[in-house]
Amino acid sequence: MTDKTVQHALHGGQFLTFVSGDELFAVDIMQVNEIIEISALTRVPKTPDFIRGVINLRGGVVPVIDLTAKLGNGLSDLTKRSCVVLVSIERNDVQQILGLLVDEVREIIDITDDHVKPPPSFGDQADTRFIQAMAQVDQLFIILLDVSRILEQHEIEQAGAIAEQLSDSVPQAAHSNH
């Protein structure tokens, strides 16, 4: 992690907290568009597990990410309390809306700057780039998410490449057979 993101991470503010798996997460409320009930999810073939699918948001199609699966803890179960937190991210100057599938939405809390700590090292295995910082509030540890890094470009490309391999196991050019 670069120095710049560390500095950025150490700012407090108002955060929306929610539970996914056994963890408590928080997202800067300025990045949260809305919270909606979970509606019918449509699976997209050949995508990584943590992309749970797409939903219809007032006529637009929005991808939904399963945070638990993203952390490598298996798919989260859909319950009555499951929600989709819609966040807007900016990628290459293009605004995009992303849904985060969470088990339960908690509350909006104030986190002061001095409660924000840089994230600890989790070793090499865990993919933790989307963890912006940790915060300690009332003896609880909260993971502050950097939503813009939940879906890394290379992951998308990787996933795309896997799909390509599956469909293009021989040279594409040789597809015509008449």
Sheet holding 23-28, edge to edge: 104-111, 13-20, 23-28, 140-145, 131-137, 116-117
**18 three-state secondary structure:** strand
Which residue among 30, 34, 43, 122 contacts other proteins (CB under 8 A)? 43
Where does this chain touch other proteins (CB under 8 A) — which range of 55-63, 79-87, 112-120, 133-141? 55-63
> Which uninterrupted H or E stretch holds 76?
none
Least distance from other proteins to the Cβ atom of residue 144, Å: 23
Q: How far is the CB of 41 from other proteins (least distance, A)?
A: 8
Closest distance between other proteins and the C-beta of residue 169, in Å?
A: 6
Q: Give the integer Cα–Cα distance in Å for 30 and 43.
A: 29
| Stretch of residues binding other proteins (CB under 8 A), selected from 26-34, 74-82, 110-118, 157-165 | 157-165
